Amino acid sequence: MNVSATELVIIGGGLAGLVTANRAAQLGLKATVLEQGNAGKYLCNTRYTGGTFHLCLREITLQPDFLNQLILETTDGFVSKAHARLLADGGAKIIAWLQAEGIKFMRASASEYHKWVLAPPGRSKPGLDWEGRGGDVLLRTLEANLVKRGGKLVRGAKAISLISENSRCVGVTTQDSDNKTEWRARAVVIADGGFQCNPELLEKYISKQPLKLKQRNGGTAFGDGLRMAQGLGAAITGTGAFYGHVLSKDALTNDNLWPYPYLDALVTAGIVVNREGRRYTDEGRGGVSVANAVARLDDPLSSTCIFDQSIWEGPGKNGLIAANPYLMRESATIYTADNLDTLAAKAGINAMALKQTVADYNAAVAASGNATDIKPADGINRRNQKYKALSIVKAPLYAVPMVSGITYTMGGITINAHAQVLREDGSAIEGLYAAGAATGGLEGGPQIGYVGGLAKGGITGLAAAEHIAAAKI
Ligand SMILES: Cc1cc2nc3c(=O)[nH]c(=O)nc-3n(C[C@H](O)[C@H](O)[C@H](O)COP(=O)(O)OP(=O)(O)OC[C@H]3O[C@@H](n4cnc5c(N)ncnc54)[C@H](O)[C@@H]3O)c2cc1C
């Protein structure tokens, strides 16, 4: 067993880990990042990111009190006041801090959501497109800055256990191809990116059939941090929700259909049905919520999006890599027909039930006027605020088989607003912190409130580093 001593060790070299390490080094601490990947450009979600820094899909530098309220509303009270405040106050701060590190942002479209996007943007074409794009540049820039500050990033170092003495965390044990090494430190930060690639944990918390989800991510988050933290008595929060998008079912076999284009704009203007031709969720809550609902079905591959020509020509064209035209260009399965009987037969859906579902839904849309909810006869009400419900009438009619694409788990290790890891009784585990997608309690909850993966990673990373430096532990 090798033994190495430093002031701060961080598990994971994504955005959260490298922000923590650089901020800590700025504040005078010697920081070492332990990264399981061996490659120069090891994969992770940050490497693949689309790069939009936002809070609840709004501009991240808006007035903090406004953002605070928005986070509380989006998460329907699931996120604590302290966490909402941390994120709201941290929006402008993380942008300014990254800019000072040499990170470049650009406006990727006229939409407010695209105001702060890592340059160059990580979505210029269908399929994966990361090399030399914003996330890749960010990771290489932050690693170079860390080295200049006297810190280091060790590749091929997979954290397998935490070291605890007298109820405090005092280090990490890693395993590489030949050796185990003990990294002793004053504090440890878990920034391993969540548990979306661990089928057992997905089955426990998210889907009865985890192998029927599309892994829309870097393939590197196995829940090691969650397991290790729980071993030291950590509480976990909000593990039932994830951030992701609804994709063409063909994304399971066609790499040009993930991470983009996704189907959210079609899903939130039209309806989603199961093989019985019935709706099963409120499409008006947005694509992230629908992706969660699809994952929860007994068979997550049994779902189809139904819409018409007006939706295809309207909302279908929204987004940087829009469903229209990219689904067709990339040969995704799209059934079209002039009537619902033929469409249902082509898509393998119960025709009689589908006709009833669409008739009820169209009647509810027609009756809704400016109402904030529409109330189809199937009893599954649909929000009609952010995402407007449109009737499904104009031929050709469309059916697109779907898969739920999971990007990162929203829940995980419970932390406080200093990113300290908490036990069930609310006390902090001394010396142990968590940041980024490894954490729980900052987004999600029953309404699947999406706050923002990059914002969360950057802001919790700064909070962890600043508390460790100030605590002089
Ligand atoms: C395609 C795609 C598009 C996205 N677009 C956006 C967007 O536009 N806006 C937005 O806000 N968010 C977006 N996200 C999400 C966002 O990129 C992530 O939430 C964020 O980058 C996560 O950072 P992280 O540091 O927590 O995790 P990661 O970047 O995944 O880093 C975790 C690191 O920990 C390492 N690791 C794991 N286990 C161990 C271990 N046992 N020992 C050592 N190392 C370990 C991994 O190898 C990895 O390098 C997107 C994600 C994807 C995949």
Domain residue ranges of the chain, discontinuous segments joined by +:
2-239+410-471, 242-406
Strand ranges (E), 82-233: 105-106, 117-118, 152-154, 158-165, 168-175, 180-184, 187-190, 214-215
Secondary structure letter of residue 56 according to DSSP: T
pTM, whole model, 2 decimals? Answer: 0.97
Predicted pLDDT at 5:
79
**For residues 323-348, average pLDDT:** 98
157 within 8 A of 9, measured Cβ to Cβ: no
pLDDT at 69: 98
Decide: residue 430, CB within 10 A, 0-12 exposed, 13-18 middle, 19+ buried: middle
- Residue 44 Cα to ligand 1 middle (Å): 5
pLDDT value at residue 473: 54
pLDDT in tens, 50-67: 999 999 999 999 999 999
**Percent residues over pLDDT 90 in the chain:** 93
On the question of a cis peptide bond just before residue 261, with omega within 30 degrees of 0, the verdict is: yes
Same fold, 2-239+410-471 and 242-406: no
- What local confidence, expressed as pLDDT, does residue 442 receive? 97
Given a cut of 60, is residue 287 above it in pLDDT? Answer: yes
Q: What percent of the chain has pLDDT over 70?
A: 100
Which residues line the pocket of ligand 1, CB cutoff 6 A? 11-17, 34-37, 42, 44-46, 48-52, 158-159, 191-193, 217-218, 220-221, 224, 259, 407-408, 436-437, 452-455, 457
Count the neighbouring beta carbons within 10 Å of the beta carbon of residue 371.
Answer: 11
Phi-psi region of 444 (alpha: psi -120 to 50; beta: other; left: phi over 0): left
CATH class assigned to 2-239+410-471 = alpha beta
Contact between residue 434 and residue 236 where contact means Cβ atoms under 8 Å apart? no
- Does pLDDT of 411 surpass 60? yes
Atom 37 of ligand 1: nearest residue by CA position: 192
**Structure confidence by residue, pLDDT tens digits, 96-125:** 999 999 999 999 888 899 999 999 987 778
Question: What is the atom index within ligand 1 of the atom nearest the CA of 224?
Answer: 41
Q: How far is the CA of 400 from the centre of ligand 1 (A)?
A: 29
User: Looking at residue 2, what is its pLDDT?
Assistant: 85
pLDDT for residue 4:
80
Q: Ligand 1 centroid to 339 CA: how many Å?
A: 44
User: Which residues, 6+ apart, have CB-to-CB distance to 154 below 8 Å?
Assistant: 32, 33, 34, 35, 174
Model confidence at 333: pLDDT above 90: yes
Mean pLDDT throughout 293-307? 98
Contacts of 200 (CB under 8 A, 6+ apart): none
* Banded model confidence at residue 280, pLDDT cuts 50, 70, 90: very high
User: Is residue 39 within 8 Å of 47, Cβ to Cβ?
Assistant: no
Q: Which CATH number fits domain 242-406: 3.40.50.300, 3.90.700.10, 1.10.1670.10, 3.90.550.10?
A: 3.90.700.10
Instruction: Give distance in angstroms: CA of 16 to centre of ligand 1.
Output: 8
What lies within 8 Å, CB to CB, of 350 at 6+ separation is 275, 276, 277, 344
Task: Quote the pLDDT of residue 141.
Answer: 98
Mean pLDDT of 345-372: 95
First-to-last alpha carbon distance for the chain, in angstroms, is 26
CB 332 within 8 A of CB 248: yes
Token output for 158: 């997979």
Q: What is the mean pLDDT of residues 117-140?
A: 92
The CA distance from 462 to 464, in Å, is 6
Please state, in angstroms and as integers, the Cα–Cα distance from residue 138 to each residue in 130, 254, 308, following that order.
Answer: 11, 28, 41
Residue 472 has a pLDDT of 64
Long-range contacts of 35-40 (CB under 8 A, 24+ apart): 35/153, 35/154, 35/155, 35/156, 35/157, 36/12, 36/156, 36/157, 36/158, 36/159, 36/220, 37/13, 37/155, 37/156, 37/220, 38/155, 38/156, 39/155
| pLDDT of res. 7 | 93
